[in-house]
Amino acid sequence: MGLTSHKVLALTVLIAVAAMVGTIWLWPRLSKRSWKAVLGRIGALLATQLAVLAALGLVANNYFAFYSSWDDLLGTGDSGPVVIQNKVDASGRLRVETIGHAEVQGGGALGRDREKSGEIREVRIDGATTRLSTEGYVYLPPQYFQPEHEQRQFPVLVVSTGFPGIAKNLVTRLNYPGAALKLLQEGRMQPTVLVLVRPSPALPQDTECEDVPGGPQTDAYFAKDVPSAIQATYRVSADPRAWAFMGNSTGGYCALKLAMRHPDVYPTAVSLSGYYRAADDPSTGDLYNGSGQRRDEADLMWRLKNLPQPAISVLLAGTREGDGDYRRDTEAFVAAAHSPMKVSYSMLETGGHNFETWSKLLPSSLEWISQRLTVPAAGPSA
């Protein structure tokens, strides 16, 4: 029986109930002052608590789709090639092997020589126009420090976690710097500056990358402040063709929305298990100040059907089974998209809404996005 099967859930709940009833029934017999009775009480309590926790865990997993199967939970699932398909030309497929990550040592360089491994820097990005700020990391590739590239301007990939998320997970759990370095060494990715952040610079509120009326202007923060701060600090290109946004879960939704709203800033985006409509729960509050129009505009399917589609390239990556309605919603999005918008998609057969799934999709997604980043020539070393 599968991890998410209703039979497994029902059996686990039945065991939990039986354990509680059994503990209550046997408790008078276990109340004696003997070592056997003490061990019996300990065993009964442990068995009951474990059974209840297992039942609650399965309920939570079935609701949030963290893990889709036992293999997904145990990390023993298939890690074979990832296929990326382009909607416009479904015959043009890229087969990319999922690869391991390079080691990240502490919070500094990916090794001792930054001219060979690059460098991770912890940063705080302050918004000049929105007055918002967030902490994150910037990964500078090896070429950034090599003398022969000292005049070179680099493309930029902004990466966001899900909510609430911490930017450090993009280094320690998904290892974007290590994955990028590995692809760079294999000639499958161009040298790219990575900006690793979380999706809300106004915690504890989940702003869903919206400009909240009378509240945090998160859309403007990512569309204006972040590019300005990075361009003012690092040797990167200001040309929009050299910029892209990528994220998982909430970060994936933000990536798509920012690209669709600001194609002149992020004309390329990748969404890993991202959704297509802003969340609406206690962590978000009222993001639209009661405006139905603003709510509609935050719905990416509504935008596809009611507004001119932007000239952007997006990759939608996730799983066919194990992540709720992801496949159905993604297929609807792909079907609704048309020129000049270009949509590619990549789906594993199974996988939950978790780091294991995103790690498998990461290398092929980085390679895809790197093929679309363009830095205009600015000199002999560019």
Q: DSSP secondary structure string, 282-343?
A: TTT--SSTT-HHHHHHTBHHHHHHHSPPPS-EEEEEEEEESSTTHHHHHHHHHHH--TTSEE
- The phi and psi torsions of 23 (rounded to 5 degrees) equal -65, -45
How far, CA to CA in Å, does 323 sit from each of 18, 68, 183, 254, 330?
31, 7, 27, 18, 11
Q: What is the CATH number of domain 72-370?
A: 3.40.50.1820
* 30, 34, 39, 41 alpha-carbon torsion, rounded to 10°: 30
State which residues of the chain have pLDDT below 50: 63-69, 72, 79-111, 379-382
What number of CA atoms fall less than 13 Å from residue 114's CA on the CB side?
13
Calpha distance 77→357 (Å, rounded): 10
- The phi and psi torsions of 147 (rounded to 5 degrees) equal -55, -35
Predicted pLDDT of residue 71: 53
- For residue 116, how many other CB atoms are within 10 A of its CB? 14
Predicted pLDDT of residue 107: 36
Calpha distance 2→74 (Å, rounded): 13
Predicted pLDDT of residue 47: 82
* 338, 343, 346, 349 alpha-carbon torsion, rounded to 10°: -20
DSSP state for residue 101 in the 8-state scheme: P
Predicted pLDDT of residue 1: 60
Predicted pLDDT of residue 70: 53
Asked if 280 and 204 count as a contact pair (C-beta separation under 8 A), the reply is: no
Asked if 149 and 381 count as a contact pair (C-beta separation under 8 A), the reply is: yes
Predicted pLDDT of residue 212: 94
Predicted pLDDT of residue 2: 56
Predicted pLDDT of residue 378: 58
Q: What is the pLDDT of residues 203-233, one digit of tens each?
A: 899 999 999 999 999 999 999 999 999 999 9
Based on its alpha-carbon atoms, the radius of gyration of the chain, rounded to whole angstroms, reads 24
The pairing of strands 82-86 and 342-350 is antiparallel
